């Protein structure tokens, strides 16, 4: 008899709990189960992110297979963008063509490395537009007829007429490793195949974009009157002591 009463009591408690759950929002009833799933999903996402960062802190932004994380820029006359033979190809358009990174990107204290070639054409082929806090600038690679390197724009002056202006030739169908570093301490620095080409402070200067390249922000890579190929794009955060 006692056993029967105990079973009836336990059944009543279960029914009351079930009825209470029906009266509560579904999100609350499922919270306990979904909470564990959410934590597990977050752990997996964190593990994937960690796996994407190598021992030197570099994270690949281009996987060599798809346009994951990228989209064609919205330039008027934008050329075709595709992944071909492990490279991201920016086709020759009518004016500027390029790609924009669609995921989060730091506004300061970062380093970017791009391995690129000018497949054909005669002007810039892998110019990098990047943030400087709430401002933007472009590292021009091979502009103004094919060989100008510099930052556009500093105090309204573009890469062909300010203190960063320099020149070097670029051969067709040749890979170049371009590295850009932006930090509070050292300002803007850029290297091509290990040789420093640009160094300019940030503090006290105003940076802007030429109107033609506005659609490349906040972070993008563009060409002009050229077909470009990108073999590698990677980024890492750096400490600015």
Domains of the chain plus CATH, in order, are 2-51 (no CATH), 59-237 (2.60.120.560)
Measure CA of the first residue to CA of the last residue in the chain; give whole Å. Answer: 78
Q: What is the pLDDT of residue 171?
A: 97
Per-residue pLDDT band at 106 (split at 50, 70, 90): very high
Report whether 70 contacts 83 (CB < 8 A).
no
- Strands across the sheet containing 70-72: 70-72, 96-101, 220-224, 127-132, 135-143, 148-152, 166-167
Pick 76 or 50 by higher pLDDT: 76
- Digit-coded pLDDT (tens) for 193-221: 999 999 999 999 999 999 999 999 999 99
Pick 179 or 39 by higher pLDDT: 179
pLDDT for residue 179 is more than 90: yes
Burial of 229 (0-12, 13-18, 19+ CB in 10 A): buried
Nearest alpha-carbon partner for 80 in 231, 223, 232: 223
Nearest alpha-carbon partner for 225 in 73, 78, 92: 92
Q: What is the pLDDT of residue 40?
A: 61
What φ, ψ does residue 211 adopt, rounded to 5°? -60, -30
Q: What is the pLDDT of residue 45?
A: 46
């Amino acid at each position: 008899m006692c056993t029967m009463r105990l079973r009836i009591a336990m059944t009543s408690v279960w029914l009351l709990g079930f009825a209470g759950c029906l009266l509560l929002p579904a999100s609350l009833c499922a919270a306990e189960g979904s909470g564990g799933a959410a934590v597990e999903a977050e752990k997996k996402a964190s593990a994937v992110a960690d796996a994407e960062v190598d021992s030197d802190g570099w994270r690949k932004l281009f996987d060599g297979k798809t346009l994951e994380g990228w989209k064609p820029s919205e330039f008027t006359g934008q050329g075709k963008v595709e992944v071909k033979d492990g490279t991201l190809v920016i086709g020759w358009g009518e004016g500027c063509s390029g790609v924009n990174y669609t995921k989060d990107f730091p506004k300061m204290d970062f380093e970017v490395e791009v391995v690129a070639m000018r497949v054909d054409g005669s002007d810039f082929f892998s110019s990098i537009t990047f943030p400087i806090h709430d401002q933007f600038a472009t590292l021009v690679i091979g502009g103004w007829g094919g060989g100008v390197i510099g930052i556009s724009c500093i105090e309204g002056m573009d890469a062909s007429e300010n203190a960063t202006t320099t020149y070097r030739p670029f051969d067709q169908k040749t890979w170049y490793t371009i590295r850009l570093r932006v930090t509070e301490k050292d300002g803007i620095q850029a290297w091509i195949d290990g040789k420093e080409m640009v160094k300019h402070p940030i503090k006290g200067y105003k940076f802007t974009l030429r109107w033609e390249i506005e659609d490349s922000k906040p972070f993008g890579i563009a060409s002009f009157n050229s077909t470009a190929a990108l073999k590698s794009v990677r980024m890492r955060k750096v400490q600015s002591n």
